[in-house]
Structures are given as structure tokens and as C-alpha cells.
Copies of this chain bind each other. A is one copy, B any other.
Amino acid sequence: MKWLHSSCLSCDFCQQADEPLCPKAQLSGYTVDGTFQQYCVASAAHVARIPKEIPLDGVAPILCAGITVYKGLKESGAKPGEMVAIVGAGGGLGSLATQYAKAMGLRVIAIDAGDDKKKMCLETLGAETFIDFSTSKNVVNDVEAATPGGLGAHTVLLLAVSEKPFQQAAEYVRPRGTVVAIGLPAGAYLKAPVFETVVKMITIKGSYVGNRKDTAEAIEFYRRGVIKAPFKVAGLSELQKVFDMMSKNQIAGRYVLDTSK
């Protein structure tokens, strides 16, 4: 089961395989009961199909974060060999995004903060360049310097939860490039000067979660072993404890709940 619990499968959007845009879409744990329980009701048409050889706990983080960033990369239209700047590359969404991007033949400029994330992005996840926004004198210049001809990134993937990068991205994306917004900072606005957007022919677009096809594809990348998603397992009975740790910012990677415990 994934965030998109079900959709009508017959509206204009479902007919074009845009189930996430269905006006009657149900969302797990939001509009219908979710998965913090031993048994739950699922929609046969929408459940993800997990190949038998995949460990259920390992694939769990793919079903939300993985699908979402994979969809964002597809929506960007980025082509193999092009450069994608990932803002928040060392976080939960970002570490998956960096791996998917690499598996899709893209070259990653990882933007995040701190030496731990730098090491992880460059050595484990496969990024080509790391830019530390907390120490960089000028992020825009640094992104441009990391791209051929200094022209900027073909694609920017916005996974951050603060507003600033949403307004800065249009400055370091390449003419004809695309900025994809995925993260959802509360109350934030996309903002870009009309003049530069027009004369540089920049595209800014939002990408939500994936449809059933994107789900199958994102899982297949995982099955092939090209995506790693570090996680720890906790029992359902430990749910409150995990929430407490999350509130205190003490979680690295993902926690997966074993509902049988």
C-alpha cells in the first residue's frame, strides 16, 4: 500500500494514467485508515505488486519516497548525460533521488549541508559534485561552475522544506532548463522574475506522487539492486517511541514498522 490508496479509474485524469490527480483519490492514513495497524483494507487495483524476491521491509521506503522522487525525475524530462541539481540530496527523499538519477544516466550536483552528507553523496550515492549551501559563498556560482560551459543545471529537483531554494533555483538552472518542485514547505511560494523566466525560457513545474506504472518502475529499479534505502525496523508497539525520536530529529535514514510486533 502506498500514499495513493485508490482513485476512481474512470475520470478524465485516471483515463490518462494521472491517478494522483483524480478528484476522488483516497489517501492512506489521511482520508482513509492507513497502515499503523495489523490489518487494513486496500484497493486491489492500486496496491503495489512486490516481486517475491524482494524483502518487504527493504522496499517499504521505496513506496513513498522512492516513487515520488522517481516521478519527479521523469517529469523533469531530463535526458541521460544531463546534469541535475538536487536540493536536499542528503536527506530522506534526496538520498533516493540521487541514486535514481544516477541509475537513469543523469549526472548529479548534490546540494546539502555538512561533511557527513558530503561524504555520503559523493562516495555512496554517486553524486558527481557536492555543494554545501551552509558554507558556500555563492550557491548560484557554484552550481554554474559545476556544469559544462558554466551554463547551469539542465534540471533542478527541489526536495527542501524551506522556501529559499524554491526562489533561488531559477537563477542557476540553465536556459531551457526545468525546475521541479516536490518538497512541500508549509505556506511557501514559488517565485521567479517574469523577465528572466521568459528570455531564458525556463520551466517550473510541480510533481506529486507517481501513478501505478511509476510505482512498478520504481520498484523494478530497487529489485535490480541499483537503489539502496537504509532503514531500521521497529515493532508497531514502538510507534510512539519512533514518533518521539522523529520530533527530536534523532532519526537518520528511515524506520520501517513491523506490524506483527
Contact = CB atoms under 8 A, between A and B. Distances in A.
Interface of A: 9-10, 12-13, 15-18, 20-21, 44-45, 74-75, 79-81, 103-105, 107, 148-149, 151, 163, 166, 175-176, 181-185, 187-208, 211-213, 216-217, 220-221, 224
Contacts of A175: 13, 18, 21
Nearest to A74: B79
A173 to B, nearest CB: 11
13 contacts: A10-B45, A18-B176, A80-B103, A103-B105, A183-B194, A184-B195, A189-B194, A192-B204, A197-B205, A198-B207, A201-B206, A203-B204, A204-B204
Given A176-B13, A191-B189, A194-B166, A201 B105 contact: no
Given A21-B200, A185-B194, 5 more contacts: A16-B17, A17-B17, A190-B193, A191-B191, A202-B205
B21 A201 contact: yes
Given A45-B9, A201-B206, A81 B221 contact: yes
A203 B205 contact: yes
A220 B81 contact: yes
A201 B213 CA distance: 17
Return the 8 tightest CB-CB contacts between A and B, nearest first: A197-B206, A198-B206, A80-B104, A105-B105, A203-B205, A15-B213, A104-B105, A188-B194
B184 A194 contact: yes
Given A15-B216, A105-B104, A191-B189, A201 B197 contact: no
Contact of A149 (B12, B18, B105): B12
Contacts of A176: 13, 16, 18, 21
Contacts of A213: 12, 15-16
A105 B100 CA distance: 10
Given A15-B17, A198-B182, A205 B207 contact: no
Contact of A80 (B21, B80, B182, B191): B80
Contacts of A207: 198, 201
B197 A190 contact: yes
Nearest to A182: B198
B194 A199 contact: no
Nearest to A185: B194
